[in-house]
């Protein structure tokens, strides 16, 4: 069972928009055992879309298109699909009713002709009703092959994938089961890790694939298996994980949550042990807080944070003493440890993490070299910090500092 | 001048990693007038990569591959390229020296065989030296066509694109100039906007393309033009912008910064008028602060923020009265306005924005319906707020709340 995802839109090809739709669709297809053979992003151009459809039809069973279904003039997908199927566009009354309902609920003003035209669909298409927007999804078949066209607006596309596409694909095809498990590893480079686990890796069964996923100071190791017997797959993959963990026992910090990452592992642990977290961020600018609060359930362990970007706010809000800042500079071990300690007190939390540094491109309230970041952890019993040099590219300095902070937090929380 | 980007890696096709590399490369190529014809993501599989190379060669002039060049066993790109060119891998001494230098600077321990093997490159390849990592970039030619292979680690890939690929492509090909300008529009849906500007749109010159980019409550309108005379393009595009602005004069909020977005327009305005910003976030969890601090120069206008996630922290840190919370609930007009006002005072800023709401999936410290978000703006003269219902999907509620907060801030700041 193979699928191809075709995303349509010039905005992707000029780099203005990052294609997040494909990753979402791929993840959902994977869960029901459909492998994505290829993801192809093409221009808003009829000939190019026709060519992409033809190529995809020769390679895979299911073709999913997204984008190019809005009401405006830059849309082209629908006409192109009709041409590909030698079909014509006809008005679908159910779609028109849905458009009218959405319009009357959200918009003051008359229904426009361009919106009415969204009710035109190829006569052979089964409509996938889009309750969140005016562009309908479409399901078309050609022998054993299925073509699915979805709007490009992410939340509309996502609802259609979850509610319509996945159940229908499962119903039509006999899908195998695909299992991924991902290990979080800290403190070993890619090649050192590879050498450490080489003997184990060489003995992996053929149906289990291993991948190394390094990213800004953290490493993920992914095992993937595929088959029709889910229980067997789980047993086999778990057996391999049980073999590899002893080889990396000081560097292994848990299995990544199915949809999550390090912060989810931390969050789950905090919830389990009934402890709370707070933070004081300077150079990371709220990004650590945002990592935690983007996941549901944060209110059970996350007390809050301060983004004390200016020196004055570190003094006023966190109660860092002016003398301490003047003596050691705002980017220092002493200041970051006071920030963590005071955040712990301010929010009455069990753990606190703090960051201060200079992410560049120019120097801020301190003379610290660009890329210097101090990160501290405070608990009820102790405060400690580490200093990092994280390069001179602003966005990367921030992202690496966030990763390092999460790594220190992970290690602290798993000590307890 | 056409290019294709081929990204290699199973992690893309199972949806574990979002392909941000392609957008970066596409943006850089666009700046020098190279249009990206297609972006193709393929599996770590030799036959599939060979097929993608062949297809790309028949469609475009420049083919850029990323991924699959690391030191571990899941790598395959280099061998496949050698096979495609009927070439063999040979040791490159300069690459080996670079690997040794990186190794001795960053790693304690002996150089491993897998790292030494990274110095193997096809004999016909020109090496693009990767100063940030051990996997070399490669430049190969076949007649007029150019094949470029880059590591998949984003910061290594980015440095090679900026320092090696772009200058070399410009040197080899006679590239046209591509100009994009993007207008930020708030308060009109896609179809209403289309109707409003229809007459203008129909008279656009053939070499200027228009695209509508709607996203969670904001809209961007992009004009793109291409030609060999940069000065003429700028004059023509600016003339069209001058024509369309009067048609949307109440909804137009500025041109998007080349690499930025709404928050950059706000940041530039604040810096220009010498005013400062602070924020108190509850349901947005630090994401508004993070939007501003991810861009350089934030310290000149951004005073800081608090993420008062728990009710207790709103009382302790922001000084919201307990009575106010009990009388009106923590998700209310009264509380969000007090948050904004108190953040303004706490950080001594000129503007403050505050959010409180329930992003779901379960109800938190209030009985407010999931999706309810109050957003307030405070200035030295006034405080006001709006209430929004933003649906029931957590991540979207947060993102929409961030967009709404930025929209309110934008309108407030451009009033002054």
When comparing pLDDT for A45 and A247, which is higher? A247
Which structure tokens are listed for A59?
């390679």
Enumerate residues 6+ apart whose C-beta is below 8 A from B28: A15, B161, B162, B165, B166
Flag if A306 and B304 touch (Cβ within 8 Å): yes
- pLDDT band at residue B361, thresholds of 50, 70 and 90? confident
| B153 touches A: beta carbon within 8 Å | yes
Q: What is the pLDDT of residues A21-47, one digit of tens each?
A: 999 999 999 989 899 999 999 988 899
Closest chain A CA to residue B4: A13
Q: What is the mean pLDDT of residues B191-219?
A: 87
Residue A58, SS3 per DSSP: helix
Cβ of A10 and B211 within 8 Å? yes
The pLDDT mean for chain A works out to 90
Q: Is the pLDDT of residue A108 over 80?
A: no
Name residue B304's beta-bridge partners: B278
* ipTM entry: 0.73
Among A307, A347, A360, A390, which would you mutate to test the B interface (most chain B Cβ atoms within 10 Å of its Cβ)?
A: A307
Look up the pTM and report it.
Answer: 0.74
> By three-state DSSP, how is residue A152 classified?
coil
Task: Tell me the three-class secondary structure of chain B, residue by residue.
Answer: CEEEEEEECHHHHCCCCCCCHHHHHHHHHHHCCCEEEEEEEECCCHHHHHHHHHHHHHHCCEEEEECCCCCCCCCCHHHHHHHHCCCCEEECHHHHHHHHHHHHHHCCCCCCHHHHHHHEEECCCEEECCCCCCCCEEEEEECCEEEEEECCCHHHHHHHHHHHHHHHHHHHCCCCEEEEEEEEECCCCHHHHHHHCHHHHHCCCCCEEEEEEEECCEEEEEEEEEECCHHHHHHHHHHHHHHHHHHHCCCEEEECCCCCCHHHHHHHHHHHHCCCEEEEECCCCCHHHHHHHCCCCHHHCEEEEEECCCHHHHHHCCCCCHHHHHHHCCCCHHHHHHHHHHHHHHHCCCEEEEEEECCCCCCCCCCCCCCEEEEEEEECCCEEEEEEECCCCHHHHHHHHHHHHHHHHHHHHHHC
Structure confidence at residue B208 as a pLDDT band (50, 70, 90)? very high
Q: Which distant-in-sequence residues (6+ apart) come within 8 Å of B369 by Cβ?
A: B358, B389
Give B106's pLDDT tier (boundaries 50, 70, 90): low
Q: For residues B224 and A13, is the Cβ–Cβ distance under 8 A? A: no
| Stretch B385-401: mean pLDDT | 89
Closest residue in chain A to residue B210, using alpha carbons only: A74
Beta bridge partners of A145: A142
Is the pLDDT confidence value at B394 over 90?
no
The answer to whether the CB atoms of A213 and B17 lie below 8 A apart is yes
Sign of the Cα pseudo-torsion (B187, A110, A81, B13, in order): positive
Pick the residue of B76, B307, B354 with the most A CBs within 10 A to test the interface with A by mutation.
B307
Rg (CA), chain A: 26
CB A263 within 8 A of CB A293: no
> Which residue has tokens 């996938």?
A128
The two structure tokens encoding residue A213: 């996923």
- The answer to whether the Cα torsion of B32, B34, B38, B41 is positive or negative is negative
Q: Are A264 and A257 a contacting pair, CB within 8 Å?
A: yes
* pLDDT (tens digit per residue) in B267-289: 999 999 999 999 999 999 999 99
Give the length of chain B.
416
**pLDDT band for position B153 (50/70/90)?**
confident
Given a contact cutoff of 8 angstroms between Cβ atoms, the answer to whether A76 and A48 are in contact is: no
Each residue's pLDDT tens digit, A180-227: 899 988 878 888 898 899 999 999 998 898 988 877 667 889 999 988
> How far is A317 from A309, CA to CA, in rounded Å?
11
pLDDT, position A107? 60
pLDDT, tens digit (0-9, with 9 covering 90-100), for B4-57: 999 998 889 989 888 999 999 999 999 898 999 999 999 888 999 999 999 999
Residues paired with B382 in a beta bridge: none
Model confidence at B105: pLDDT above 80? no
Beta bridge partners of B175: none
The answer to whether the CB atoms of B12 and A39 lie below 8 A apart is: yes
pLDDT over 70, % of chain A: 95
Cα separation of B281 and B340, whole Å?
9
Q: Between chains, do B191 and A114 touch, taking CB under 8 Å as contact?
A: yes
The verdict on a CB contact (< 8 Å) between A304 and B299 is: no
Q: Residue B215 has what pLDDT?
A: 72
Residue A401 has pLDDT above 70, yes or no: yes
Whole-number Å distance between alpha carbons of B388 and B397: 10
The A residues from 392 to 411 touching B (CB cutoff 8 Å) are: 393-396, 398
Task: Work out the mean pLDDT of chain B and round it to a whole number.
Answer: 90
Residue A223 three-state SS:
strand
Contact A191 B114 (CB under 8 A): yes
A61-78 mean pLDDT: 80
pLDDT for res A145: 96
Query: Residues of A255-273 as b/e, b for ≥16 C-beta within 10 angstroms?
Result: ebbeeebbbbbbbbbbeee
Is the minimum CB–CB distance between A319 and chain B shorter than 8 Å? no
Please give the pLDDT value at position B220.
86
Residues A377 and A342: their CA atoms lie apart, in Å, by 11
Q: Percent of chain B scored above 70 by pLDDT? A: 95
Q: pLDDT value at position B244?
A: 96
Compute CA distances A11 → A182, A193, B303, whole Å: 32, 39, 34
Least confident of A66-75, A90-99, A140-149: A66-75
Does residue B364 have a pLDDT over 70?
Answer: no
Question: What count of Cα atoms within 13 Å lies in the side-chain half-sphere of residue A276?
Answer: 18
Q: How far apart are CA A19 and CA A295, in angstroms?
A: 21
Nearest chain B residue to A13 by CA distance is B36
- The pLDDT score that the predictor gives to residue B71 is 65
- Give me the residue label for tokens 């480079």: A189
pLDDT digits (tens, 9 = 90+) for A304-331: 999 999 899 999 999 999 999 999 999 9
Whether residue A37 and residue B24 make contact (CB cut-off 8 A), yes or no, is: no
Query: Which residues partner with A350 through β-bridges?
Result: none
Q: What is the mean pLDDT of residues A377-403?
A: 92
> What does the pLDDT look like over B240-256, one tens digit per residue?
999 999 999 888 878 87
């Amino acid at each position: 069972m193979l699928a191809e995802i075709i995303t349509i839109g010039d905005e992707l090809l000029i780099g203005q928009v990052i294609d997040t739709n494909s990753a979402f669709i791929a993840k959902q297809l994977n869960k029901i055992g459909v492998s994505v053979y290829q993801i192809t992003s093409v221009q808003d151009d009829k000939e190019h879309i026709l060519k992409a459809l033809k190529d995809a039809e020769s390679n895979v069973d299911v073709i999913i298109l997204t984008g190019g279904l809005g009401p405006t003039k830059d849309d082209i997908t629908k006409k192109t699909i009709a041409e590909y199927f030698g079909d014509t566009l006809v008005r679908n009354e159910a779609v028109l009713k849905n458009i009218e309902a959405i319009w009357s609920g959200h918009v003051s003003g008359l229904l426009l002709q361009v919106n009415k035209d969204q009710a035109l669909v190829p006569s052979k298409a089964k409509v996938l009703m889009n309750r969140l927007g005016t562009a309908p999804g479409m399901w078309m078949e050609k022998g054993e092959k299925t073509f699915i066209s979805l709007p490009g607006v992410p939340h509309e596309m996502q609802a259609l994938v979850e509610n319509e596409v996945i159940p229908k694909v499962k119903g039509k095809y006999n899908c195998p089961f695909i299992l991924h498990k991902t290990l979080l590893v800290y403190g070993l480079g890619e090649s050192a890790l590879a050498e450490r686990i080489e003997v184990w890796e060489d003995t992996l069964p053929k149906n289990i694939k291993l991948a190394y996923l390094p990213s800004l100071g953290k490493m993920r190791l992914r095992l993937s298996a595929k088959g029709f017997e889910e229980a067997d797959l789980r047993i086999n993959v778990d057996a391999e994980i049980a073999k590899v963990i002893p080889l990396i026992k000081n560097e292994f910090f848990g299995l990544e949550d199915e949809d999550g990452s390090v912060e989810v592992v931390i969050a789950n642990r905090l919830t389990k042990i009934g402890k709370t977290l707070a933070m004081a961020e300077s150079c990371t600018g709220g990004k650590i807080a945002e990592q935690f609060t983007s996941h549901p359930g944060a209110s059970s362990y996350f007390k809050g944070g301060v983004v004390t970007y200016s020196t004055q706010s570190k003094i006023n809000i966190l109660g860092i003493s002016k003398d301490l800042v003047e003596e050691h500079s705002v980017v220092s071990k002493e200041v970051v440890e006071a920030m963590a300690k005071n955040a712990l007190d301010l929010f009455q939390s069990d753990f606190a993490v703090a960051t201060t540094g200079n992410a560049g491109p120019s120097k801020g309230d301190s003379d610290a070299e660009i890329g210097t970041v101090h990160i501290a952890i405070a608990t009820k019993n102790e405060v400690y910090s580490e200093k990092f040099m994280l390069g001179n590219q602003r966005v990367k300095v921030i992202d690496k500092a966030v990763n390092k902070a999460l790594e220190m937090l992970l290690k602290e929380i798993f000590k307890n």
